[in-house]
Amino acid sequence: MRRIVILLCMLTAALDAAGQAVPFLTIRMDAGEQAFGGAHVASRNLLPLSDNIFEAGLGKTLWQTGGINYNLTNILARVRIVENLTAGIEYTSNNMGEMTLYSDNGQPMGTFQPGEMMAALRLSYSPSKKLNLNAAGKIIRSSLTDDHTGRCYAADLGAVYRINNAFAAGLAIENLGGKINYGYGAYPLPTTCKAGIDGTVKLKDKHAVEFAADGGFMPAGSALLASLGTGYVYNDMFSVRCGAHICTKDTVLPSYFSAGIYFKSTNFDIGAAWLSAANTYSISARLKL
């Protein structure tokens, strides 16, 4: 029993250090956005579908393989309801890896696998040609042990303003909700308030430069956040990207550099990214019909 208590204390200490629960919600599951240092507030991925009626995506991230070692899987599907309205569902699971439980005399008592999940309904709506609104309702579950499991609800709210075909600006409040209670205490969600920009500058012929930047604040951890990324684009299809993410408190979210590649076409996108945050790797793909 003592070993079980020790395991719980270790996980609780990690929560206390971060000042919040379920930090996996702050991790971008799109490898293209990760390669930009996580900048995403004005991303085209938040806009209603215009050229396609349906898209489905799959993402896999091994977060900090040299540290906390999250194994994240993400599934996303969106469908165009009418011309200016898109609805979607999303599911993300976070597998923390199996832990062995021992008795006081050192005998194995079985294993336990802490884990987390998020399921969401997402909506994107364009009330005008330039203004785009997006929202999501989320169900979140986090399990530290069989007897210490918490559940809560949260919401994302955002707006993207298309300045022209090449540039956009955005605002977002993410993971807005109550605290998650594990039975021994309640911890706040990683709520963030952000503003960002996204753009592409055409050079000559088939060459261009793209960039994205976000800045914001996380109240629960009293931390300032900033993400900045840029990349070279060839033929509006293939890009090589790099970026950086800065957080004033590493216990809330680590600072890191990022690099990746991204390919997009009429019917599918695929990307891969590496983050310097204790060796994080990500790949994502999206089918568009």
CA angle 230, 130, 48 (to 5 degrees): 80
Structure token pair of residue 111 = 């294993």
Count of domains forming the chain: 1
| pLDDT, position 37 | 96
User: What's the chain's average pLDDT?
Assistant: 89
Instruction: For 205-250, write each residue's pLDDT tens digit.
Output: 899 999 999 999 999 878 999 999 999 999 999 999 999 999 998 8
More confident: 253 or 132 = 132
Instruction: For 41-74, write each residue's pLDDT tens digit.
Output: 999 999 999 989 999 999 999 998 887 788 999 9
Distance between CA atoms of 80 and 68, rounded to whole angstroms?
A: 38
CATH (domain of 269): 2.40.160.60
Question: 24-28, 107-111, 243-247, 257-261: which range is least confident on average?
Answer: 107-111
pTM given for the model: 0.88
Average pLDDT over residues 186-210: 94
Average pLDDT over residues 270-279: 94
Task: Write down how long the chain is.
Answer: 289
Residue-range definition of the domain harbouring residue 51: 2-288
E strands along 30-114, which residues?
54-63, 70-82, 85-95, 99-102, 108-112
Q: Which of 250, 188, 186 is nearest to 223 (CA)?
A: 250
Average pLDDT over residues 121-141: 97
Structure token pair of residue 139 = 């169900």
Q: Which of 123, 121, 113 is nearest to 153 (CA)?
A: 121
Distance between CA atoms of 208 and 190, rounded to whole angstroms?
A: 35
